[in-house]
């Protein structure tokens, strides 16, 4: 805890005082927790940020220390907001919901609770905290500790399922984003245009920005235009790797059951049609990787369907019901994407199916399987090239509409 009240009821932040002043205060003054009112002790070790601490076995909701890394980051973020001329409150206690925000900041007319999250927080807790803040008309803004950033490539990170629930989206039709901050390097990492590629891996644009170059509004925005060239390049690489690389010896249970299912259907991973394993924004809502659910949709539903037959899409949702997470699992995403519909729309672009109306589709052509791996790899290149082109055309058209 960085801040407590003295006997006069004034807030004191020890980190701003020199060592001898802190020492004098320790012996001559008493301090009290702003949340529970209990007396708290002054802690000022050699290497640590001076702070307050509850007595052992305290029942106060904020008595559990959050560690040096968290305290350091919280203080830096607080100063960063004050330097931007914003009205910011450190460790603001909100008695109505019995919670304490790391920092409460006012941006124009909006109140924002900034939470610097360095420890794991489960989905349920995240949802509850988010709901509580919104009840008071406060928008939560979560920044994950840089200690949680696991980079696996130039434009790729790995996230635990717990961290994935922090994916945020503040405007309709935007791709999700997520923010990290490291107090040791005093840098933000803004991860934008986030696209799940399954198994906890995420493609996206990584921007590293020093604290003094960043502004609070950047944390809400998708920022620059997406680097689509490297996105499609990486996707194609993944897709081709999936075909040609033999499965690892130790496979997850999910992967094993998929392989078994595929084997029973007498198909082989390397010879699946190229329209399986395509990117959709809503992939973050799927519990299985794209090749898994898309192959079930294609092989169990579309392949047996006669050409020209009109069918409702509802059974597809039933088929994939168990592998889809509800939008409520992502409380920070304002308008949730529908991965199944997105995928069907891609198949419509590829002229495999067409939508007859909102709820029904018609199969247009038979689904072709490649005869050998060379042909499959060629088809992959073609399909990615086609989607990249279509995608660029649509994004140009929508830019024109905005202009
Ligand atoms: Zn307390």
Predicted local confidence at residue 397, as pLDDT: 57
Of 32, 104, 40, whose CA–CA distance to 74 is shortest? 104
Distance 94 CA to ligand 1 centre (A): 13
Report in angstroms the alpha-carbon separations of 172 from 129, 178, 217.
Answer: 22, 16, 17
169 and 98 share one domain: yes
Number of domains in the chain: 3
Distance 76 CA to ligand 1 centre (A): 23
260 and 220 share one domain: no
When pLDDT is cut at 50, 70 and 90, the band that residue 225 belongs to is: confident
Distance 68 CA to ligand 1 centre (A): 18
Distance 63 CA to ligand 1 centre (A): 6
When pLDDT is cut at 50, 70 and 90, the band that residue 403 belongs to is: very low
381 and 264 share one domain: yes
Residue 33 domain flag: yes
DSSP code of residue 315: H
* Backbone phi and psi for residue 174, each to the nearest 5 degrees, phi listed first: -85, 155
Distance 36 CA to ligand 1 centre (A): 4
Q: Which of 178, 194, 226 is the last residue of a domain?
A: 226
Distance 9 CA to ligand 1 centre (A): 15
Predicted structure pTM score: 0.90
Average pLDDT score over residue span 297-304: 96
Distance 340 CA to ligand 1 centre (A): 47
Give the tens place of pLDDT for each residue, 162-185. Answer: 999 999 998 877 889 999 999 999
Predicted local confidence at residue 401, as pLDDT: 45
Residue 125 domain flag: yes
Q: Which of 171, 194, 226 is the last residue of a domain?
A: 226
Asked if residue 15 has pLDDT above 50, the reply is yes
Average pLDDT score over residue span 235-260: 88
Residue 240 domain flag: no
Q: What is the domain-level CATH number for residue 222?
A: 3.40.1350.10
264 and 287 share one domain: yes
Task: Give the whole-number percent of the chain exceeding pLDDT 90.
Answer: 79
397 and 342 share one domain: yes
Residue 241 domain flag: no
Asked if residue 270 has pLDDT above 80, the reply is yes
Q: By the 8 A CB rule, do 26 and 45 touch? A: no
pLDDT, the chain, mean = 92
Distance 101 CA to ligand 1 centre (A): 14
Report in angstroms the alpha-carbon separations of 198 from 279, 342, 359, 368.
Answer: 10, 16, 27, 25
Asked if residue 402 has pLDDT above 50, the reply is no
Predicted local confidence at residue 336, as pLDDT: 85
Residues 6+ apart with CB under 8 A from 293: 286, 320, 323, 339
- Structural tokens at position 341: 């519909």
Range of the domain at 381: 246-402
Predicted local confidence at residue 396, as pLDDT: 61
If you search the block for the tokens 């920044």, which residue do you land on?
143
158 and 15 share one domain: no
Residue 233 domain flag: no
């Amino acid at each position: 805890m960085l801040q407590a009240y003295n006997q006069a009821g004034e807030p004191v932040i020890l980190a701003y005082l020199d060592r001898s002043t802190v020492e004098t205060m320790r012996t001559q003054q008493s301090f009290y927790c702003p949340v529970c009112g209990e007396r708290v002790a002054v802690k000022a070790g050699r290497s640590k940020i001076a702070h307050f601490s509850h007595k052992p076995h305290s029942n106060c909701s904020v008595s559990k220390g959050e560690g040096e890394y968290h305290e350091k980051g919280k203080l830096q973020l607080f100063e960063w907001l004050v330097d931007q001329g914003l009205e910011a409150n450190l460790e603001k206690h909100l008695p109505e919901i019995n919670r304490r925000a790391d920092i409460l900041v006012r941006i124009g007319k909006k109140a924002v609770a900034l939470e610097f999250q360095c420890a794991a927080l489960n989905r349920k807790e995240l949802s509850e905290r988010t709901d509580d803040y919104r009840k008071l008309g406060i928008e939560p803004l979560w920044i994950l500790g840089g200690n949680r950033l696991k980079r696996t490539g130039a434009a790729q990170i790995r996230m635990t399922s717990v961290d994935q629930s922090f994916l945020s989206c503040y405007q309709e039709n935007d791709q999700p984003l997520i923010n990290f901050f490291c107090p040791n390097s005093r840098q933000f990492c803004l991860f934008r245009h986030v696209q799940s590629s399954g198994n906890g891996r995420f493609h996206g644009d990584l921007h590293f920005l020093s604290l003094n170059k960043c502004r609070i509004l950047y944390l809400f925005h998708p920022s620059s235009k997406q680097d689509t060239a490297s996105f499609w390049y990486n996707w194609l690489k993944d897709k081709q790797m999936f075909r040609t690389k033999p499965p690892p010896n130790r496979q997850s249970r999910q992967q094993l059951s998929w392989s078994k299912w595929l084997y029973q259907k007498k198909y082989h991973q390397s010879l699946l049609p190229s329209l399986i394993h395509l990117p959709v924004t809503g992939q973050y809502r799927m519990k299985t990787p794209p090749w898994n659910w898309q192959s079930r949709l294609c092989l169990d539903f579309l392949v047996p369907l006669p050409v020209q037959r009109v069918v409702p899409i509802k059974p597809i949702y039933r088929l994939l019901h168990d592998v889809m997470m509800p939008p409520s699992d992502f409380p920070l995403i304002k308008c949730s994407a529908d991965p199944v519909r997105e995928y069907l729309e891609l198949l419509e672009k590829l002229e495999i199916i067409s939508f007859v109306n909102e709820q029904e589709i018609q199969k247009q052509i038979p689904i072709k399987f490649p005869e050998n791996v060379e042909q499959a790899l060629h088809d992959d290149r073609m399909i990615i090239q086609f989607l990249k082109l279509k995608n660029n055309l649509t994004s140009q058209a929508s830019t024109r509409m905005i202009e």
